[in-house]
Amino acid sequence: MPESRNVEYVELGEGSSPKLEKLPKVSVIPLVFLIFYEVSGGPFGVEDSVQAAGPLLALLGFLVFPFIWSIPEALITAEMGTMFPENGGYVVWVSAALGPYWGFQQGWMKWLSGVIDNALYPVLFLDYLKSAIPALEDGFIRIIAVLILTAALTYLNYRGLTIVGWVAILLGVFSLLPFVFMGVVAIPKLNPSRWLLVDTGNINWGLYLNTLFWNLNYWDSISTLAGEVENPGKTLPKALFYALILVVFGYFFPLLIGTGAIPVDRDLWSDGYFSDIAKILGGVWLRSWIQVASALSNMGMFLAEMSSDSFQLLGMAERGMLPECFSRRSRHGTPLTGILFSASGVILLSWMSFQEIVAAENFLYCFGMIMEFIAFVKLRMEHPAASRPYRIPIGTAGSILMCIPPTILILVVLAIASFKVMVISIIAVIIGLVLEPCLRFSEKKRWFSFSRDSVIVDFHSVNYQSS
Give per-residue pLDDT as tens, 117-129. 777 777 767 766 6
What is the reported pTM? Answer: 0.85
Contact 286, 182 (CB under 8 A): yes
pLDDT given at position 122: 75
Q: Residue 192: pLDDT above 50?
A: yes
Q: Residue 113: pLDDT above 80?
A: yes
* Mean pLDDT, rounded, for 97-125: 85
pLDDT given at position 50: 92
Which of residues 392 and 19 earns the better pLDDT score?
Answer: 392
pLDDT given at position 370: 92
pLDDT given at position 452: 60
Q: What is the DSSP letter of 189?
A: G
pLDDT given at position 74: 94
Sequence-separated contacts (24+) of 237-240 with Cβ below 8 Å? 237/78, 237/82, 237/390, 238/28, 239/28, 239/31, 239/32, 239/35, 240/35, 240/74, 240/77, 240/78
**pLDDT band, very low/low/confident/very high, at 6 (cuts 50, 70, 90):** very low
* Mean pLDDT, rounded, for 81-96: 91
pLDDT given at position 415: 82
Least confident of 252-266, 325-339, 356-370, 443-457: 443-457
**pLDDT band, very low/low/confident/very high, at 460 (cuts 50, 70, 90):** very low
* Mean pLDDT, rounded, for 42-48: 86
* Mean pLDDT, rounded, for 165-192: 91
